[in-house]
């Protein structure tokens, strides 16, 4: 039996081990072969030798770590908050001029508060607004209305004050202020300020008694009558505009609320589009009537494209269900049948379609008797 040793400076690539003798003491040499230093050996039982073979390293065995319930819950929360995190990151990314580069919000045709996002442009016949000046003034915002209200009185006072001053100047009353024998057109008018104050006293019918018109001035008498008439007209017009603007039932519409979302569900084995409406006040809306419109783009058979096509949505017009007794919150339903504009739409199409449903509630305010429209 022979033993052969191979000595290596570091790690041996092959080894020679003693084997059993065969025959009459015949020695069998162990074949040594240089292999890759993988440290793996293959035993050959037939030859009784040890042969090194080159094999690929085995992949690491994953270590299973038992996770707690809190860690799993935290991971779920992180996954649920991923959209919010992405939105926050997008809000932080600003463009060159400082605007936020996020997905553009779709512009609504009618806002939730009933305001229509329609701006009139390229109007050449703007003079038509002046033909209905009363409605134009009522439709102005409060800032412009107050400005017009103040300017209407200030201009008339200044205008007639200037005329009273011109009368005193032309008659020579300003040159005879110290002459007690001179009879002026208006007593105690010695300049423009005093003439302006006399104009205010005349138009507002204050009558302090210090500045008084005399009977020696027929022009002043005619001017006094004219200012009294025009002053009454200005009062009636401006007070009427302010009263109509104040008494508009727009604020009454704030107490009529609609559900935030509409749902499609089964009712009496029929597929229906449903939403809810309610009144917050104890005073009722008399003769409440409900209408609904579907606004979406449409292309006709001739190829005409209609960007804002309006289609009626039946909410009970045939059966009378559109007339409401709005004492408690009510559920308004639209049956999706063959005549419904949603008949040919599937759930996936409803999610992808770009349309808008506008609900209009009309009625009369019980307290004031005025009509109110809520969109």
Residues 265 and 175 in one domain: no
Q: List, in order, residues 6 or more apart from 107 with CB less than 8 Å away.
A: 117
Regarding whether 256 and 241 lie in a shared domain, the answer is: no
Helix pair angle (192-203, 142-171), 10° resolution: 120
First to last CA, the chain: 108
pLDDT at position 39 is: 43
Question: Per the domain annotation, does 259 fall within a domain?
Answer: yes
Q: Give the per-residue pLDDT at 225.
A: 92
Say if CB 311 and CB 334 are below 8 A apart: no
Are 361 and 263 found together in one domain?
Answer: yes
In a domain, 222, yes or no: yes
- Percent helix / strand / coil, the chain, rounded to 5: 30, 20, 45
- The secondary structure of 244-261 as a DSSP string is HHHT-TTGGGGGEEE-S-
Number of domains the chain is built from: 3
> Would you state the pLDDT for residue 15?
41
- Residue 115 covered by a domain: no
pTM confidence score: 0.55
In a domain, 336, yes or no: yes
DSSP bridge pairs for 355: 296
- For residues 196 and 259, state if they share a domain: no
Report if residue 119 sits inside a domain.
no
CB atoms under 10 Å from CB of 182, counted, come to 13
Mean pLDDT by 10 residues, the chain (375 residues): 43 44 43 41 43 52 60 74 65 49 60 71 74 84 91 94 92 83 86 91 84 87 92 92 83 81 86 88 83 84 83 80 83 87 82 82 80 78
Is residue 257 situated within a structural domain?
A: yes
Residues 256 and 241 in one domain: no
Q: Check whether residue 173 and residue 274 sit in a common domain.
A: no
Residue 30 is predicted with a pLDDT of 40
Does residue 73 sit in helix, strand or coil? helix
Question: Which class for 345: exposed (0-12), middle (13-18), buried (19 or more C-beta within 10 A)?
Answer: middle
| Same-domain check for residues 226 and 290 | no
pLDDT of residue 28: 40
Instruction: Print the domain residue range for 279.
Output: 252-374
Whether 89 is covered by a domain: the verdict is: no
Q: Are residues 314 and 232 in the same domain?
A: no
* pLDDT for the residue numbered 362: 85
């Amino acid at each position: 039996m022979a033993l052969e040793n191979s000595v290596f400076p570091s790690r041996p690539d092959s080894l020679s081990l003693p084997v059993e003798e065969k025959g009459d003491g015949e020695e069998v040499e162990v074949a040594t072969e240089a292999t890759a230093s993988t440290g793996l050996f293959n035993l050959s039982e037939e030859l009784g030798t040890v042969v090194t073979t080159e094999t690929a390293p085995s992949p690491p065995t994953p270590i299973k770590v038992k996770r707690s319930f809190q860690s799993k819950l935290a991971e779920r929360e992180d996954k649920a908050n991923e959209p919010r995190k992405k939105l926050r990151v997008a809000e932080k990314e600003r463009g060159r001029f400082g605007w936020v580069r996020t997905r553009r919000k779709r512009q609504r045709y009618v806002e939730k508060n009933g305001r229509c996002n329609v701006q009139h442009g390229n109007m050449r016949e703007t003079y038509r607004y002046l033909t209905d000046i009363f409605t134009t003034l009522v439709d102005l915002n409060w800032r412009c209305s107050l400005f017009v209200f103040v300017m209407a009185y200030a201009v008339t006072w200044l205008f007639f004050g200037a005329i009273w001053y011109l009368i005193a100047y032309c008659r020579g009353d300003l040159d005879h202020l110290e002459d007690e024998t001179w009879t002026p057109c208006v007593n105690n008018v010695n300049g423009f300020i005093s003439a302006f104050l006399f104009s205010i006293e005349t138009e507002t019918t204050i009558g302090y008694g210090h500045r008084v018109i005399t009977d020696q001035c027929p022009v002043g008498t005619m001017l006094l009558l004219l200012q009294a008439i025009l002053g009454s007209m200005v009062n009636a017009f401006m007070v009427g505009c302010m009263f109509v603007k104040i008494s508009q039932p727009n604020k009454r519409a704030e107490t009529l609320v609609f559900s935030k979302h509409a749902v499609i569900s089964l009712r009496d084995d029929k597929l229906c589009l449903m939403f809810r409406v309610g009144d917050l006040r104890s005073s009722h809306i008399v003769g409440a009537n409900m209408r609904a419109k579907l606004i979406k783009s449409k292309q006709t058979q001739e190829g005409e494209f209609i960007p804002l096509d309006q289609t009626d949505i039946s909410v009970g017009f045939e059966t009378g269900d559109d007339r409401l007794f709005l004492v408690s919150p009510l559920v308004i339903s639209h049956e999706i049948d063959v005549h419904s504009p949603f008949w040919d739409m599937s759930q996936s199409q409803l999610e992808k379609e770009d349309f808008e449903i506008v609900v209009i509630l009309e009625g009369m305010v019980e307290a004031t008797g005025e009509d109110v429209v809520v969109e």
